[in-house]
């Protein structure tokens, strides 16, 4: 019932995942899964998909779906933007629900809000023609922010209206209704797509290099940063591991942020530089850059590169 990108082709074939072709609806940020159960009851003819970043919520929702006998729902633990871009085929979804998204009320955090211009461009490519996103929120500022971004995209007709009754039965809906807060709702109907297709993130073979020379000690390590629009890489910290080094890297790419362990260790044929075993990131262009950045730092400390594969 849980979808794992490591085991799936990009994008997925919904008919193969669900065992039937049917209209496909996604809920982003499903929390405790109550709304997915409601949807399964209201629309037994739909295939359901949920995305949620919080692992504890995913476990709770999974238990709830099993308890309620919901068989046509699949859950993804991770960022909905990654799911949309990499697992959902172009024009695959009829409906997307966002119920009570995190409002990120501070101005300096507005960039973390989900319903941004970039998101609407991506969403338009994953919604079928005639498909729609339904937003329900208690937060007037976020509502304004999202409706303005949707309209400005030129890709959606934004129609505010009363929230569908089922969106008022989620955990957060009950909490805000108990506090007598007003609830805001709008449907974003797809009217166009931008030229972008947002192809799935490309995966590469394991990047590595063989170097020659004496490894510096971990104390000699200083944070290394490389910024580029397609991927930002920071080598954050290094630890001594016997005669080798372990390095923590943060790799930021659109819709994908990964923390990755790299290593540089003596081997029979020199110094091996690459990904630490058992750390299994998605080997993206950014992860390759992280290995390249580590190699360059080691070169600056006097090592020579004999062979590189990244
Ligand atoms: C305020 S809660 C609302 C939960 C639920 N929809 C409800 O109404 O009870 C927002 C949820 O969205 C999840 N979330 C935030 N950003 C997300 C993202 N980019 N992808 C998937 N889930 C996300 C959070 O972990 C949290 O569970």
* pLDDT band for position 7 (cuts 50, 70, 90): low
Count of other CB atoms within 10 angstroms of residue 266: 14
Calpha distance 190→84 (Å, rounded): 15
Report which ligand 1 atom has the smallest distance to the Cα of 83. Answer: 20
Q: Provide the pLDDT for residue 110.
A: 85
Out of 39, 53, 77, give the residue to mutate to test ligand 1, the one with the largest number of ligand atoms within 8 Å of its CB: 53
C-alpha separations of 236 from 126, 244, 246, 250, 277 in Å:
35, 17, 11, 7, 19
**Measured at the alpha carbon of residue 248, what is the angle toward residues 243 and 252, in degrees to the nearest 5?**
150
Mean pLDDT, the chain, integer: 94
CATH class of 2-190: alpha beta
Residue 185 alpha carbon to ligand 1 centre in Å: 16
Upper half-sphere CA count for residue 181 (Cβ side, 13 Å): 17
Residue whose CA is at the smallest distance from ligand 1 atom 3: 100
Residue 199 alpha carbon to ligand 1 centre in Å: 25
Burial zone of 305 (CB within 10 Å; 0-12 exposed, 13-18 middle, 19+ buried): middle
Per-residue pLDDT tens for 202-245? 889 999 999 999 999 999 999 999 998 788 999 999 999 999 99
Residue 54 alpha carbon to ligand 1 centre in Å: 8
Calpha distance 45→163 (Å, rounded): 22
Residue 142 alpha carbon to ligand 1 centre in Å: 14
Residue whose CA is at the smallest distance from ligand 1 atom 18: 79
Residue 5 alpha carbon to ligand 1 centre in Å: 20
List, by residue number, the catalytic residues.
102
Q: Provide the pLDDT for residue 3.
A: 61
Q: Provide the pLDDT for residue 200.
A: 85
* pLDDT band for position 128 (cuts 50, 70, 90): very high
Question: Quick one: which of 238, 254, 250 has its CA closest to 290?
Answer: 250
DSSP state at residue 237: E
For residues 255 and 82, the answer to whether their CB atoms sit within 8 Å is: yes
Q: What are the pocket residues of ligand 1 if the criterion is a CB atom closer than 6 Å to any ligand atom? A: 28-31, 51-54, 57, 79-81, 99-102, 114, 170-173
Element (H, E) at 192: none
Residue whose CA is at the smallest distance from ligand 1 atom 5: 31
Out of 26, 29, 122, give the residue to mutate to test ligand 1, the one with the largest number of ligand atoms within 8 Å of its CB: 29
Residue whose CA is at the smallest distance from ligand 1 atom 19: 79
Both tokens assigned to 40: 């399964």
Name the pTM for this structure: 0.86
Question: Quick one: which of 264, 259, 300, 306 has its CA closest to 280?
Answer: 259
């Amino acid at each position: 019932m849980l979808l794992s990108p490591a085991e799936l082709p990009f994008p997925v074939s919904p008919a193969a995942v669900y065992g039937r072709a049917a209209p496909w609806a996604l809920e982003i940020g499903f929390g405790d899964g109550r709304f997915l159960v409601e949807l399964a009851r209201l629309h037994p003819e739909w295939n359901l998909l949920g995305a949620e970043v919080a692992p504890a919520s995913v476990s709770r929702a999974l238990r709830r779906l099993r308890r309620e006998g919901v068989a046509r729902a699949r859950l993804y633990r991770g960022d909905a933007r990654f799911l949309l871009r990499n697992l959902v085929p172009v024009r695959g979804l009829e409906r997307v629900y966002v119920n009570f998204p995190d409002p990120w009320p501070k101005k300096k955090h507005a960039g973390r809000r989900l319903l941004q211009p970039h998101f609407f461009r991506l969403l338009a490519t994953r919604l079928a023609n005639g498909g729609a996103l339904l937003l329900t929120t208690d937060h007037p500022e976020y509502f304004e922010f999202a409706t303005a971004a949707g309209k400005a995209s030129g890709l959606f007709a934004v129609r505010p209206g009363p929230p569908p009754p089922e969106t008022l039965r989620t955990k957060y809906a009950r909490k805000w209704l108990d506090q007598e807060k007003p609830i805001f709702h709008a449907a974003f109907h797809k009217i166009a797509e931008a030229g972008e297709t947002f192809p799935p993130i490309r995966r590469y073979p394991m990047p590595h290099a063989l170097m020659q020379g004496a490894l510096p000690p971990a104390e000699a390590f200083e944070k290394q940063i490389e910024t580029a629009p397609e991927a930002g890489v920071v080598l954050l910290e290094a630890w001594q591991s016997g005669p080798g080094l372990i390095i923590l890297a943060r790799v930021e790419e659109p819709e994908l942020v990964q923390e990755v362990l790299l290593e540089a260790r003596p081997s029979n044929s020199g110094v091996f530089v690459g990904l630490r075993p058992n750390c299994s990131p998605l080997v993206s262009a950014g992860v390759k850059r992280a290995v390249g950045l580590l190699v360059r730092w080691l070169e600056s400390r006097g090592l020579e590169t004999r062979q590189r594969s990244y």
